[in-house]
Amino acid sequence: MTQHPTHSPQFFLTAPSPCPYLEGQFERKVFTHLVGDKAPEMNDLLTQGGFRRSQNIAYRPACETCRACVSVRILAQEFKATRNMRRVIERNSDLVGAMHDAEPSTEQYSLFRSYLDARHRRGGMSDMTVLDYAMMVEDTHVTTKVIEYRRRGPDTFITGQGQGELMAVALTDQMSDGLSMVYSYYNPEMDERSLGTFMILDHIARARAMGLPHVYLGYWVNGSRKMNYKVRFTPQEHLGMKGWERFEGDI
Protein backbone atom coordinates (compact mmCIF):
# COMPACT_ATOMS: atom_id res chain seq x y z
CA MET A 1 0.00 0.00 0.00
CA THR A 2 1.31 3.45 -0.89
CA GLN A 3 2.00 5.64 2.11
CA HIS A 4 1.43 9.39 1.90
CA PRO A 5 3.30 11.36 4.58
CA THR A 6 1.01 13.83 6.30
CA HIS A 7 3.72 16.19 7.57
CA SER A 8 4.97 17.23 4.11
CA PRO A 9 2.31 16.75 1.41
CA GLN A 10 3.46 16.19 -2.14
CA PHE A 11 1.77 18.04 -4.99
CA PHE A 12 1.28 16.69 -8.50
CA LEU A 13 0.22 18.21 -11.82
CA THR A 14 -2.21 16.59 -14.24
CA ALA A 15 -1.76 16.51 -18.00
CA PRO A 16 -3.86 18.99 -20.05
CA SER A 17 -7.40 17.89 -20.94
CA PRO A 18 -10.38 19.64 -22.57
CA CYS A 19 -12.08 22.10 -20.23
CA PRO A 20 -15.66 21.03 -19.32
CA TYR A 21 -16.78 24.66 -18.91
CA LEU A 22 -15.14 26.76 -21.65
CA GLU A 23 -15.02 25.55 -25.22
CA GLY A 24 -11.57 25.54 -26.76
CA GLN A 25 -9.75 25.74 -23.43
CA PHE A 26 -7.64 23.08 -21.75
CA GLU A 27 -7.47 22.50 -18.02
CA ARG A 28 -4.72 21.29 -15.73
CA LYS A 29 -4.97 20.67 -12.00
CA VAL A 30 -2.49 20.57 -9.16
CA PHE A 31 -3.47 18.05 -6.49
CA THR A 32 -2.37 16.34 -3.30
CA HIS A 33 -3.66 13.57 -1.05
CA LEU A 34 -5.71 14.29 2.09
CA VAL A 35 -4.96 11.37 4.40
CA GLY A 36 -3.97 10.75 8.00
CA ASP A 37 -4.59 12.60 11.24
CA LYS A 38 -3.66 15.98 9.78
CA ALA A 39 -6.13 15.74 6.90
CA PRO A 40 -8.80 18.00 8.47
CA GLU A 41 -6.25 20.72 9.23
CA MET A 42 -4.73 20.41 5.76
CA ASN A 43 -8.19 20.52 4.16
CA ASP A 44 -8.93 23.77 6.00
CA LEU A 45 -5.68 25.38 4.83
CA LEU A 46 -6.00 24.20 1.25
CA THR A 47 -9.68 25.17 0.93
CA GLN A 48 -8.81 28.64 2.23
CA GLY A 49 -6.15 28.68 -0.49
CA GLY A 50 -8.57 27.88 -3.29
CA PHE A 51 -8.47 24.08 -3.36
CA ARG A 52 -11.49 21.78 -3.55
CA ARG A 53 -11.88 18.25 -2.20
CA SER A 54 -12.90 15.15 -4.15
CA GLN A 55 -12.70 11.97 -2.06
CA ASN A 56 -9.21 12.01 -0.50
CA ILE A 57 -7.80 14.41 -3.10
CA ALA A 58 -7.48 18.19 -2.80
CA TYR A 59 -7.10 19.98 -6.14
CA ARG A 60 -7.17 23.39 -7.75
CA PRO A 61 -6.89 24.66 -11.35
CA ALA A 62 -3.39 25.24 -12.68
CA CYS A 63 -4.22 26.12 -16.28
CA GLU A 64 -1.46 27.61 -18.40
CA THR A 65 -3.42 30.24 -20.35
CA CYS A 66 -6.69 30.71 -18.44
CA ARG A 67 -7.66 32.15 -15.04
CA ALA A 68 -11.44 31.93 -15.43
CA CYS A 69 -11.96 29.69 -12.37
CA VAL A 70 -12.38 31.81 -9.24
CA SER A 71 -12.83 30.40 -5.73
CA VAL A 72 -15.99 31.77 -4.10
CA ARG A 73 -17.10 31.87 -0.47
CA ILE A 74 -20.24 33.50 0.91
CA LEU A 75 -19.98 35.79 3.94
CA ALA A 76 -22.69 33.94 5.83
CA GLN A 77 -23.06 36.30 8.79
CA GLU A 78 -23.64 39.31 6.49
CA PHE A 79 -25.76 37.60 3.87
CA LYS A 80 -29.17 39.06 3.04
CA ALA A 81 -31.56 37.04 0.89
CA THR A 82 -33.09 38.73 -2.13
CA ARG A 83 -36.84 38.80 -2.65
CA ASN A 84 -36.59 35.87 -5.04
CA MET A 85 -34.49 33.90 -2.54
CA ARG A 86 -37.07 34.53 0.18
CA ARG A 87 -39.67 33.08 -2.18
CA VAL A 88 -37.49 29.97 -2.60
CA ILE A 89 -37.27 29.59 1.18
CA GLU A 90 -41.04 29.92 1.50
CA ARG A 91 -41.64 27.49 -1.37
CA ASN A 92 -39.58 24.88 0.46
CA SER A 93 -40.77 25.59 3.97
CA ASP A 94 -42.23 22.09 4.07
CA LEU A 95 -38.73 20.57 3.79
CA VAL A 96 -36.23 19.79 6.53
CA GLY A 97 -32.59 18.85 6.15
CA ALA A 98 -31.25 16.14 8.45
CA MET A 99 -27.47 15.95 8.85
CA HIS A 100 -25.90 12.48 8.99
CA ASP A 101 -22.45 10.96 8.96
CA ALA A 102 -21.05 10.44 5.46
CA GLU A 103 -22.67 7.11 4.64
CA PRO A 104 -24.13 6.26 1.21
CA SER A 105 -27.46 4.56 0.61
CA THR A 106 -29.27 3.01 -2.34
CA GLU A 107 -31.92 5.72 -2.01
CA GLN A 108 -29.27 8.42 -2.36
CA TYR A 109 -27.75 6.74 -5.39
CA SER A 110 -31.15 6.39 -7.08
CA LEU A 111 -31.73 10.15 -6.72
CA PHE A 112 -28.14 10.88 -7.77
CA ARG A 113 -28.57 8.73 -10.88
CA SER A 114 -31.81 10.49 -11.82
CA TYR A 115 -30.15 13.87 -11.39
CA LEU A 116 -27.14 12.97 -13.55
CA ASP A 117 -29.29 11.43 -16.29
CA ALA A 118 -31.46 14.56 -16.45
CA ARG A 119 -28.86 17.31 -15.98
CA HIS A 120 -25.38 15.98 -16.71
CA ARG A 121 -25.80 13.10 -19.14
CA ARG A 122 -22.58 14.01 -20.96
CA GLY A 123 -20.60 15.12 -17.93
CA GLY A 124 -17.56 13.48 -16.41
CA MET A 125 -19.66 11.84 -13.69
CA SER A 126 -22.30 10.40 -16.02
CA ASP A 127 -20.99 6.82 -15.87
CA MET A 128 -20.60 6.63 -12.09
CA THR A 129 -21.70 3.28 -10.64
CA VAL A 130 -23.14 2.68 -7.20
CA LEU A 131 -19.62 1.76 -6.05
CA ASP A 132 -18.23 5.00 -7.46
CA TYR A 133 -20.92 6.90 -5.59
CA ALA A 134 -20.14 5.10 -2.34
CA MET A 135 -16.48 6.04 -2.73
CA MET A 136 -17.41 9.69 -3.37
CA VAL A 137 -19.26 9.79 -0.05
CA GLU A 138 -17.15 7.53 2.15
CA ASP A 139 -13.60 8.16 0.95
CA THR A 140 -12.89 11.10 3.25
CA HIS A 141 -10.39 11.75 6.03
CA VAL A 142 -12.02 15.04 7.05
CA THR A 143 -15.27 15.91 8.84
CA THR A 144 -17.82 15.23 6.12
CA LYS A 145 -21.61 15.10 6.47
CA VAL A 146 -24.54 14.14 4.27
CA ILE A 147 -27.62 16.35 4.55
CA GLU A 148 -30.83 14.70 3.36
CA TYR A 149 -33.85 16.87 2.57
CA ARG A 150 -37.36 15.46 2.99
CA ARG A 151 -40.80 16.83 3.76
CA ARG A 152 -41.54 17.63 7.38
CA GLY A 153 -43.48 15.00 9.28
CA PRO A 154 -45.50 14.98 12.51
CA ASP A 155 -42.42 13.85 14.48
CA THR A 156 -39.90 16.19 12.87
CA PHE A 157 -39.87 18.57 15.83
CA ILE A 158 -38.72 15.61 17.97
CA THR A 159 -36.43 13.70 15.61
CA GLY A 160 -35.13 16.60 13.52
CA GLN A 161 -35.69 14.48 10.41
CA GLY A 162 -38.17 14.61 7.58
CA GLN A 163 -40.29 11.79 6.27
CA GLY A 164 -41.15 10.29 2.91
CA GLU A 165 -39.41 10.80 -0.41
CA LEU A 166 -35.79 11.92 -0.53
CA MET A 167 -35.83 15.17 -2.50
CA ALA A 168 -32.29 16.55 -2.29
CA VAL A 169 -28.87 15.70 -0.86
CA ALA A 170 -25.77 17.73 -0.03
CA LEU A 171 -22.32 16.29 0.66
CA THR A 172 -20.65 18.87 2.91
CA ASP A 173 -17.33 19.32 4.70
CA GLN A 174 -17.43 20.99 8.10
CA MET A 175 -14.32 23.13 8.54
CA SER A 176 -13.00 25.48 11.21
CA ASP A 177 -14.15 28.58 9.32
CA GLY A 178 -17.19 27.39 7.43
CA LEU A 179 -19.09 24.79 5.46
CA SER A 180 -17.78 23.61 2.10
CA MET A 181 -20.41 22.25 -0.30
CA VAL A 182 -18.58 19.38 -1.97
CA TYR A 183 -21.47 18.17 -4.14
CA SER A 184 -25.25 18.49 -4.14
CA TYR A 185 -28.06 17.02 -6.22
CA TYR A 186 -31.84 16.90 -6.20
CA ASN A 187 -34.99 15.60 -7.83
CA PRO A 188 -34.78 16.97 -11.40
CA GLU A 189 -38.56 16.88 -11.81
CA MET A 190 -39.08 19.58 -9.16
CA ASP A 191 -37.70 22.62 -10.97
CA GLU A 192 -40.37 24.85 -9.46
CA ARG A 193 -38.79 24.41 -6.02
CA SER A 194 -35.31 25.70 -7.06
CA LEU A 195 -33.77 23.07 -4.79
CA GLY A 196 -30.19 23.93 -5.72
CA THR A 197 -30.71 27.50 -4.51
CA PHE A 198 -32.56 26.28 -1.45
CA MET A 199 -29.69 24.04 -0.36
CA ILE A 200 -27.22 26.94 -0.57
CA LEU A 201 -29.58 29.11 1.48
CA ASP A 202 -29.93 26.30 4.00
CA HIS A 203 -26.14 26.03 4.30
CA ILE A 204 -25.91 29.78 4.92
CA ALA A 205 -28.46 29.43 7.73
CA ARG A 206 -26.53 26.47 9.17
CA ALA A 207 -23.23 28.35 9.07
CA ARG A 208 -24.85 31.28 10.87
CA ALA A 209 -26.29 29.01 13.56
CA MET A 210 -22.88 27.37 14.04
CA GLY A 211 -21.10 30.71 14.27
CA LEU A 212 -19.08 30.01 11.11
CA PRO A 213 -18.23 32.92 8.79
CA HIS A 214 -18.16 31.21 5.39
CA VAL A 215 -19.95 28.91 2.98
CA TYR A 216 -17.55 27.71 0.28
CA LEU A 217 -19.19 27.18 -3.13
CA GLY A 218 -16.18 26.03 -5.13
CA TYR A 219 -15.37 27.73 -8.41
CA TRP A 220 -17.25 30.39 -10.29
CA VAL A 221 -16.13 30.13 -13.92
CA ASN A 222 -16.10 33.51 -15.62
CA GLY A 223 -17.71 32.99 -19.03
CA SER A 224 -19.70 29.87 -18.10
CA ARG A 225 -23.44 30.63 -17.92
CA LYS A 226 -24.19 27.54 -15.84
CA MET A 227 -21.86 28.81 -13.10
CA ASN A 228 -23.34 32.33 -12.87
CA TYR A 229 -25.73 31.32 -10.07
CA LYS A 230 -22.81 31.30 -7.62
CA VAL A 231 -22.32 35.07 -7.72
CA ARG A 232 -25.95 35.77 -6.72
CA PHE A 233 -25.26 35.01 -3.04
CA THR A 234 -23.75 38.25 -1.79
CA PRO A 235 -21.80 39.59 -0.07
CA GLN A 236 -19.13 37.07 -0.91
CA GLU A 237 -15.39 36.91 -1.39
CA HIS A 238 -13.36 35.90 -4.45
CA LEU A 239 -9.82 34.57 -4.19
CA GLY A 240 -7.44 36.57 -6.35
CA MET A 241 -3.80 37.50 -6.60
CA LYS A 242 -4.12 39.68 -3.47
CA GLY A 243 -5.99 37.07 -1.45
CA TRP A 244 -9.70 37.01 -0.64
CA GLU A 245 -11.43 40.17 -1.86
CA ARG A 246 -14.99 41.29 -1.20
CA PHE A 247 -17.52 41.09 -4.02
CA GLU A 248 -21.04 42.51 -3.89
CA GLY A 249 -22.03 43.47 -7.44
CA ASP A 250 -23.43 41.77 -10.50
CA ILE A 251 -21.36 40.24 -13.27
The CA distance from 40 to 168, in Å, is 26
DSSP 35: -
pLDDT value at position 54? 95
6 has pLDDT over 70 = no
pTM: 0.91
List, edge to edge, every strand of the sheet that includes 12-13. Answer: 12-13, 29-33, 57-61, 52-54
> Lowest-pLDDT range, 8-22, 92-106, 118-132, 176-190?
118-132
pLDDT value at position 168? 98
User: Domains plus CATH for the chain?
Assistant: 12-69 (no CATH), 73-247 (3.40.630.30)
pLDDT for 12-45, tens place per residue?
999 999 998 898 999 999 999 999 999 999 999 9
pLDDT value at position 1? 44
HEC letters along the chain:
CCCCCCCCCCCEECCCEECCCCCCCEECEEEEECCCCCHHHHHHHHHHCCCEEECCEEEEECCCCCCCEEEEEEECCCCCCCHHHHHHHHHCCCEEEEEEECCCCHHHHHHHHHHHHHHCCCCCCCCCCHHHHHHHHHCCCCCEEEEEEEECCCCHHHHCCCEEEEEEEEEEEECCCEEEEEEEEECCCCHHHCHHHHHHHHHHHHHHHCCCCEEEEEEEECCCHHHHHHHHCCCEEEEECCEEEEECCCC
134 has pLDDT over 80 = yes
